[in-house]
Structure 1
Amino acid sequence: MDNRNLLPLLLSISLSGLTPSAYSGSPSPATPPTLGISADQTTAISNGNRLFVDNQIGKSSCTNYTPESRSCSGGSDTAYNSFDEASRAAHAGDTVYVREGRFKAQLKVRNSGTEGNFVTFRNYQSETVIITGKKLKPAIDLSNREYVVIQGFNVEKVGRWLYFLEAHNNIVRDNHFSQAYDRAGSKSGIFFFHASHNRFINNTLKGNADDALSLVDSERNLVEGNSIRNAHHALWDIRCGNYNVLRNNYFYNERQKGGEVYDCDGQVKTRKYNATRRNLIEANEFDYTANSGNKSPFSGIQYAGQQGIIRHNRFHDTTGPGLRMALYGKEARHNWGNRVYNNLFYASQFAGIWLQRSRKGGQFEDNRFTNNLLSGSRFVNNDSRWAWWNQILKGKPVQLYLDRRDGYRFDHTAIISASGDGPYLAIYGNGNRGPERPQLTITQMNRQDPNFQHGLVIAAPHFIDPANHDYRLRDDSPLIDAGTFLTQTSSAGSGTEMKVKDAAYFYDGFGIPGEQGDQIQLDGDTQSTRIISIDYATNTLRLDHPLSWRKGQGVSLKYNGKAPDIGAYE
């Protein structure tokens, strides 16, 4: 295969590095990747009136505004000196241009647009518009509005950032949010509640007193191309929400963890259990997470969802595990049916992946891990309360941490070890206590653990430039074509409806505006096709053009060469 050809999901990523980190301190983040978004995901039609907000004019409004001089003289445009008056005047199809300045008032959208005729609020040309004030809770309010675009604002030093409450079909893009001071849990940052079909694209978020972005009881929203840094709790979370997509984002948190996925146990007065299903988390970069001290380690993702897809992500330099498959309490009692494939887990201070169990029970089943790459992790006992961690695991090259022997299946997992196979690359534990039985090598696990198959130990992955976090594979990498196909066809056939053994690996767009389904390819075939829709109940894929297939033929995302690669890139 040609390693310069990446999956379509990753084509827009310009990889950039961070200063390499030692275990003794926090890395200094460089500028995160620039993540381009396709035009059809962000284009909103506004073909109505042009209005202005300019806080330099000396009256509440005028109809003879001249943009060049920023004055109510000699022009023909309508201008207002406050957000509120302009918001009341703007209707479907109108665009409100905000002139450069500092505004200490909330931007509350008063009117909805319609499909094809958005109400747009944006900065004028490349001017800097700042919304600020600690009493703004939130600074921008889209509650109960549809078909609105918010673009090009700087929101800083406020109580809370932005609300999507009962908001649908809106686009928020190219904004900068910093310093939200209110300790309001999920409400303090970008807050989705009972919200659907919204797109949050190409924004930067930095410095939140609680959660930076929360999707609560919301579905079919797209969060793409954003940079989110430093929140006192989680950078993002999905709680009792379904069919949401997080793609091509950059996450870095020197205060706590990366992301969380779990049910609602009282958040925003909502209690829903076994209700966080079919969310897609793909092609993100999970950078540094903070040292937890004598607490449960801070993860890249603390996950307890159902039927989700986690794929093509890069987890690196996390102090806790890259991915923690959690089981605890009421909010995280249902962790099942998930598909975790083609991810990279690199240089954790705990393990790349941690599967937990709970003494209080819970549902942990049918979680499948395929074609993942684990490398460079070494156990550090940041939480020094436990003898097993202090005396046995400290300094060991732990890549995979299993607290259980059921509920999972690992297939074609590649573990990088320059010294070869050994008993601590993957460990069986009992939470923070050691097991009663001896640890196994990867070779022994392949033979003795029916849920761990085709594990590989490779001396070197041959990354292009790991020092600068470019984890693409060189052409001489042993991981090229070393993966397995995700599923197989159920029977021989032809046409545009294909039944497979497991459709849970695939994505059909979830009905989100601008989204398309996966491109898939059969084993031994050079032709690919796109998924239009999926019937998960019957494992049926509906395709955009016909194919022919034999029974048991492998099916994967589009690949190069003879078979899929192992790791985050194809």
Structure 2
Amino acid sequence: MKTIISCLFFVLLTGCASVLTQPESQEIYVATNGYHGNGSFEHPYRTIQEAVDVAQAGDTIYIRGGSYHEKIIIKNSGKKNQPITLRNYQQETVVIDGSQQKTTKELDGLLIIKNQQYITLDGLSFVNFSSDNENVPTGVLLTGTSHHIIVNQCRISNITTKNPNPEQANAHALAVYGTDSVQAIHHIEITNCEISQNILGLSETVVLNGNVENFNIARNKIHDNDNIGIDMIGFEGTASQNDFARDGFCEENELWNNSTTNNPSYNEASAASIYVDGGRNIVIQRNVIWASDIGVEAASEHQNKTTKQIVIRNNLIYDCLEIAGIAFGGYDEQKGSATEIKIYNNTLVNNAAHIFVQEHAQVTSNEIINNIFYLGEAYEGDLTQIKHTPNFYQQPKFVDEKKHNFHLRKDSSARNTGIISQWVGDDDLDGNSRINDKKINFGAYQ
């Protein structure tokens, strides 16, 4: 007994016993030619699931190039400054291919993170996952109370619904579902990804739905999808309380060719490349959007519910010829409202209407200021009570309109003639200072 007590006392004094030592971070390897491996470089695991099952905080799973025909569920968490990281090895191409997989639940994913934290996905591709019934296939699914999740430099394509009933067809490329009414999914980063050619039915390409807060969707390329590009949603019953996405940024993305025109669930144009439906306190800034049904929309599809505190600034939106460059409100009298919508310093060129003011948006807290409107109707809808001056309606004198260079020439009268406001942001679309010598341009570029 004396020996045991002495040992314990020594452990408490020195902190050097193996039982109290933090385990060292490991490098775990996966390869398509792995066979009964132990996860070492020389003897890799054969499946990604084997690796994530043993990974602990601080570990990095290096996946060698090739196609992996599996679904993955991450059941372990990292810690602050010690994430669990899944990434491609060096520059090798890693494809998680769902062509041999079936959806087995209502909302299913090729990779699922539920109720976990501090996980990073980096440099992976997710492709070819579909459903021919009411189940919803998803490339990457984050759900429950997960937090501090990073999805970076990933590619997601050909996630498709093949449900023959267009009124029940749904799919997502990447979905964040905050399902707990008390604890939000939070600190989610979706960055530097390319997400394209997904067939989605009634659903959205990238969606944040329910109790979701503190997020950043940045520097992604989202294109050629048959529904909304990015959607930040509230009030769909995903969580019983706090059921709305909030307190986030959607910035520096490029979005194009996102349209429901050929989607059998719609058969008409209706999709925004960036959409806030019931979300609040969200900044949409420094994005470039073209050739979509709507560039940016801030609306509420739920009666007596409000989308609010949305700042839409320093974006370039052009060639949205079906509906509008920017829309806000409720799309009919039975829908919800939009308040505290601040639309500042956007450059809008060749859109069907540059600003579409929908129902339940006629309030003094909505403002349309410092924008350039060129080639297209400036407004559609009722502007009553909405502050909408000053804006720039003349020939802006762009540097090279034919090459889509919408910077202002030095002799443009849109230079240095806007008004300074708390809503203009720190940086213009190029990342330069938004205000120079106490002056500000109209449009997205300083």
Distance 1:343 1:519 in 2: 11
Give how far 1:367 is off.
1.5
Equivalent residue for 1:208, pick from 154, 159, 164: 159
Deviations 1:491-539 (A, max 9, x none): xxxxxxxxxxxxx877xxxxxxxxxxx689xxxxxxxxxxxxxxxxxxx
Give how far 1:371 is off.
1.6
- Check if 1:351 corresponds to 2:351: no
Distance 1:458 1:322 in 2: 22
Equivalent residue for 1:369, pick from 343, 365, 389: 343
8 Å Cα contact 2:299/2:337 also seen in 1: no
Q: 2:77 matched to which residue of 1?
A: 112
Equivalent residue for 1:338, pick from 310, 313, 321: 310
Give how far 1:88 is off.
4.2
Give how far 1:55 is off.
4.7
Gaps of 5+ in 2: 1-22, 161-170, 179-184
Distance 1:100 1:450 in 2: 55
Equivalent residue for 1:283, pick from 252, 255, 259: 252
Deviations 1:335-357 (A, max 9, x none): 12222222222111122122333
| TM-score between both structures, scaled by the size of structure 1 | 0.59
- Check if 1:480 corresponds to 2:399: no
- Check if 1:236 corresponds to 2:189: no
Distance 1:99 1:299 in 2: 37
Q: 1:406 matched to which residue of 2?
A: 362
Q: 1:462 matched to which residue of 2?
A: 398
Give how far 1:54 is off.
4.1
8 Å Cα contact 1:314/1:568 also seen in 2: no
Q: SS of the residue aligned with 1:484?
A: coil
Matches within 5 A, 1:255-404: 255-267=226-238, 270-272=239-241, 275-292=244-261, 295=268, 297-304=270-277, 305-318=279-292, 320-329=293-302, 333-349=305-321, 350-357=323-330, 358-360=332-334, 362-378=336-352, 398-404=353-359
Matches within 5 A, 1:413-424: 413-417=371-375, 424=377
Distance 1:163 1:48 in 2: 23
- Check if 1:224 corresponds to 2:175: no
Q: Which amino acid aligns with 1:342?
A: N
Q: SS of the residue aligned with 1:179?
A: strand
| TM-score between both structures, scaled by the size of structure 2 | 0.74
Q: Determine what percentage of the aligned residue pairs are the same residue.
A: 18
Give how far 1:249 is off.
1.4
Q: Which amino acid aligns with 1:201?
A: N
Give how far 1:291 is off.
4.9
Give how far 1:296 is off.
5.6
Change (3 A) 1:370 1:220: same
Give how far 1:287 is off.
1.0
Q: Which amino acid aligns with 1:227?
A: E
Q: SS of the residue aligned with 2:196?
A: strand
Distance 1:185 1:369 in 2: 38
Distance 2:103 2:397 in 1: 47
Distance 1:180 1:478 in 2: 52
8 Å Cα contact 1:53/1:83 also seen in 2: yes
Q: Which amino acid aligns with 1:409?
A: E
Distance 2:102 2:344 in 1: 43
8 Å Cα contact 2:128/2:157 also seen in 1: yes
Q: 2:441 matched to which residue of 1?
A: 565
Give how far 1:109 is off.
4.0
Change (3 A) 1:482 1:202: farther
Change (3 A) 1:102 1:235: closer
- Check if 1:103 corresponds to 2:68: yes
Equivalent residue for 1:199, pick from 143, 150, 153: 150
Distance 2:418 2:63 in 1: 52
Q: 1:432 matched to which residue of 2?
A: none
Deviations 1:40-78 (A, max 9, x none): xxxxxx963444334535x52369x7x5xxxxxxxxx55
Structure 1 or 2: larger strand share? Answer: 2
Q: Which amino acid aligns with 1:169?
A: Y
Distance 2:418 2:130 in 1: 46
Q: SS of the residue aligned with 1:279?
A: strand
Taking only aligned residues, the RMSD between alpha carbons, in angstroms, comes to 3.5
Distance 1:93 1:450 in 2: 51
Q: 1:391 matched to which residue of 2?
A: none
- Check if 1:165 corresponds to 2:118: no
Q: Relative contact order (C-alpha < 8 Å, sep 6+): which is higher?
A: 1
